[in-house]
Structure 1
Amino acid sequence: MDADIVVVGAGSVGLAAGFFLAQRGARVVLVDEGEPPHTLGSHHGSTRLTRTAYGEGAAYIPLLLRARTLWRELEQLSGELLFEPCGVLNLGVADSPFLAQAALSAAQYGLALEPQTAAGIETRWPGWRLPPEWRGGYEPEAGVLYCERALAAWRRLGKEGGARLLAGQAVTGLRVRPGRVEVERADGSRLSAAKALVCAGQRVAPLLAQLGLTLPLQRVRKTFAWYEADPGRYGPEVFPGFSAVLADAIYYGFPTLEGAGLKLGRHDGGQPLAPGEPLAPFGAFEEDRAELDAFVQARLPGVGEFIEGKTCHYIRTPDEHFILDRHPEHDQVYFASACSGHGFKFAGVLGELFAHWMLDGDPGFDLAPFRLGRFE
C-alpha cells in the first residue's frame, strides 16, 4: 500500500488532519485538485470569524473549546499571526432564537458574553446605526482567523512531519478492495491505503455515491466584498467582527484588517450549483452587490466606497449542521462534509478528532448530532 491513510481533499479539514496524522507517525498522503491554499473550495477570502458562545447549537461547544486551544498551539508552532482578538458581536431582534441560544451556550459553559442594547452598541461602537428593537451579545474572547495563513501553516508543518501532498489532480474514483481503499485521480493514476478520509467539499457526495451512500448536500454560490473604512472607526481595536441575524437575511462582517477594508458577506441565500459547475464571477447577478450595499448604507454609516467583490461556495445540508461520519458498510472510509458556511473555525479540532478516530478508534467527542443517519 502507498500509505496508512489517504486524505481526499487538502482543504481546511484535510490539511489539519494530515498534520495531526503525521504528528502521530502515520504514513499519510493527501490528494487535492489544486495547490492549497487555493480558490477552488471554501477556505479562501483571507478571514473567518471564530466564536464560542454559539447560536447554532450547544452540540458545537465542546468542539469549539478544543478548537480555541488548537488555534493558539498552531500560532506557536508556525510562528504566524493566525488570530485577531477583536471580539465578535452577534446582532438580532430581541426575541431572536440565535441570540437566545448563544446566551444559553455561554451560561452553560461559563463563556464571556456581554448583552447589549441598540443604544449601547451605537455608543460603544459608533460605526453602527441600528433600529431600537435590536439587541446584541458581545463575545470579547472571539475574533478573526486568517484562513489561508492557517492552511499554509498546516501544509508546511505536515510536510515537515512526513505528510505527502499530491496536488493538481482531482480524485475521480473511490473503491474499497480487500484490506485497502483505492483512489483514482483524473490522470488515471491510483494509490491505495488502509483507510481513507474523504473531505473534498463538492466532490464528497459524488465520490461516496460510488460506495452506495447518498448525502443530501447542496452546493451554493456565495459572494462577499470589501468596502473602504477608516481604521480609527472600523479597525480591530475599535470595531468587532459581527453576525447579524435578521428576519429576512443573515449577514456577517469583519473590521478593516491590514488596510484591506471592511469585509461583508451574506450567509443565507445564494445560487444553487451542481458539483463541478463553474462559479459565475462577482457581479454576474444584480443582488451580488446590491444586497451588500444596502446593508452598508442602512447600518454602517461611516463605511465608504465599494472596493472589490469575490465569490466562493458553501456545501450545505438541509439542517445546516455538519456531517462527520464513517461508512456504515466500509468502516475504513471516513468522511467530513457540508460545514454549511460555518465550519472553518472547527478545522483544527475536526482534523484532530479524525486522526484520533482513524488511529485509535475513538474520535473523543460525541458525534451523534452530526451523523448522516439523522436524515433517514
Structure 2
Amino acid sequence: MNYDVIIVGAGAMGLATGYYLTQKGVQVLMLDAYDPPHEQGSHGGETRLIRHAYGEGRGYTPLAIRSQGLWDELQQLVRLPILKKTGVLSFAQTESSFIKEIQASAHDHHLPLQLYNHEQLKQRFAGLRLPKAEHMGCFEPSSGVLYVDQALRSYRALAIEAGAHLKVNHPVDHLKINKDDIIVYSRGKVFTGKQLLLATGAWQPTWFKTLNLNVKLTVKRQMIGWFEANEALFDASVFPGFTAETETGLFYGFPSIDGSGVKVGRHDYGTPVNPNHFDRDFSAADEAELRSFLTTWLPEAAGRLIKGKTCLYTMTEDEDFVIDCHPEHSHIWLAAGFSGHGFKFASGIGESLADRMVNKTTIQDLAMFSINRFIVNG
C-alpha cells in the first residue's frame, strides 16, 4: 500500500506526529514492533514530569511551553486526565548551575517561579529534609505530571479516528530508499511512503548504522521505584513533582497520586545495554540506590517498596535530541536520542515534525537538535 508518510515506531513521538499529520490531511501508516503503550521501551513507568523553566538549558523552554498548551488541548479534546498540575520543585545547592539555569529560563520567558531558601523550603515542604544549609529550591506552580498511557492512547485513538493506519506487532525488517519514496518491509508485507519517520527509541542506533549515520547513541538501562510514604506529607495535593541535584546524583520523582506511593528515579544512572537482551528485573541494588536518596532527603517516603520497574534511555553525547531529516535523504526524518527527558515535549515535537514534513517549516526553532552537530563535514 502507498502512503504519504510511514512512521516506524509508534511510541510517544511517533503517535504524536501521526496524529498531527492526520490533522493536515496526510495519509499516514504507523508501524510498531509492539502494541503501544507498552513497557518495552522508553515510555514505560506511568508518569512523566513536565517542566518549563528548564535546568538543562533555556533553549528548551519555548518547546516546553508549546507542548504544555498542546497537552492541555489534548486533555480537553478527549476529556480524560492527561496532566495533573502538581507543580514541580527543583532543589540543589545554591550555586548549582542547574538551579541557576532554571532561574534564567524563568526570567527570560516570564514564567512564574517561586524561590525558597533553606529554611523556607523546610517550612513549605514538610516532607523534605535538607542535610546542609546551602540548599535552595525553585518551585514552578504551572508544571506537573503527565499520564503516559492516557496520553498515548489518546493520540493513538484520535489518529486512527482521523484516518491513520496502525499496524502493531509489526517490526520492520528492512528499508529500500529510492529517490522519491521509501519501501518498508515488515512481516512479509510491503509498504511504500513518500516520506519516512524513524522514531524507534532504543532501537534507533541500529537504524542509524543502516543509514550510514556516524552518530553515537548509547542505550542505558534505568530503574524507577514506588515507595510507601506518609500520605499527609506526600500526597499530590500537598507535595509536588521534584528534581534534586545532590552530591551523589541527579534524582527526580513524583508525589503519591491516589495512594500510589512516591515514585523516584535517578537520571544520571544506568549501564549501557542491548535493548533486545538486558536484565529487565528490578534488583535489590536498584532499590538500594533509590532508597538511599529517599532516606537522606525524603525520609517519610522511604517506606516499603511497592513496585520497581526498568526502562531504557537513549542518550546522545550532549544529551540533547536529534530531530532532523537525513543529511543525504531529505524524505527520511529522524526523531532520536531523547536522553531521558523527551516525553514532556512529545506533543510539541509531533506538531513540529508534522509541520516540517508538510510545510518544510515550523514556528518552533529546532536548530539545536540538528543532526549535523555530530557529523563532521555534515
Q: Deviations over 1:270-329 (max 9, x none)?
A: 11112422343111xx53111111111111121222111110010001111111111111
Q: Percent identity?
A: 39
* Matches for 1:139-154 after TM superposition, within 5 Å: 139-154=140-155
Q: Look up the match of 2:55.
A: 55
After TM superposition, the structure 1 stretch with the greater mean CA deviation from structure 2, 28-37 or 290-299, is 290-299
Instruction: Tell me by how many angstroms 1:194 deviates.
Output: 0.2
1:74 aligns with 2:66: no
Q: Look up the match of 1:39.
A: 39
1:160 aligns with 2:161: yes
Q: Deviations over 1:142-199 (max 9, x none)?
A: 11000111000000111110111011021131221232111222x2322110000111
Letter of the 2:330 counterpart? D
TM-score (norm 2): 0.96
* Matches for 1:108-187 after TM superposition, within 5 Å: 108-130=108-130, 131-185=132-186, 187=187
Q: Look up the match of 2:374.
A: 375
Residue-pair matches, total: 373
After TM superposition, the structure 1 stretch with the greater mean CA deviation from structure 2, 5-14 or 364-373, is 364-373
Q: Look up the match of 1:214.
A: 214
Unaligned runs of 5+ in 2: none
Q: Look up the match of 2:299.
A: 301
Q: Look up the match of 1:318.
A: 317
Contact 1:34 1:167 in 2 (8 A): yes
Contact 1:196 1:332 in 2 (8 A): yes
Contact 1:175 1:210 in 2 (8 A): no
Q: Look up the match of 1:353.
A: 352
Unaligned runs of 5+ in 1: none
* Matches for 1:142-291 after TM superposition, within 5 Å: 142-185=143-186, 187-283=187-283, 286-291=284-289
What CA distance in whole angstroms lies between the structure 2 residues aligned with 1:313 and 1:181? 28
Q: Look up the match of 2:105.
A: 105
**What SS class does the counterpart of residue 287 from structure 1 fall into?**
helix
The runs of 4+ residues in structure 1 deviating greater than 3 Å are: none
Instruction: Tell me by how many angstroms 1:204 deviates.
Output: 1.8
What CA distance in whole angstroms lies between the structure 2 residues aligned with 1:213 and 1:116? 46
Q: Deviations over 1:186-233 (max 9, x none)?
A: x23221100001111122221232222122100000000001123321
Instruction: Tell me by how many angstroms 1:363 deviates.
Output: 2.7
Contact 1:47 1:147 in 2 (8 A): yes
Contact 1:205 1:214 in 2 (8 A): no
1:333 aligns with 2:354: no
Q: Look up the match of 1:29.
A: 29
Contact 1:357 1:364 in 2 (8 A): no
Instruction: Tell me by how many angstroms 1:373 deviates.
Output: 1.4
What CA distance in whole angstroms lies between the structure 2 residues aligned with 1:58 and 1:211? 32
Letter of the 2:290 counterpart? L
What CA distance in whole angstroms lies between the structure 1 residues aligned with 2:207 and 2:298? 44
TM-score (norm 1): 0.97
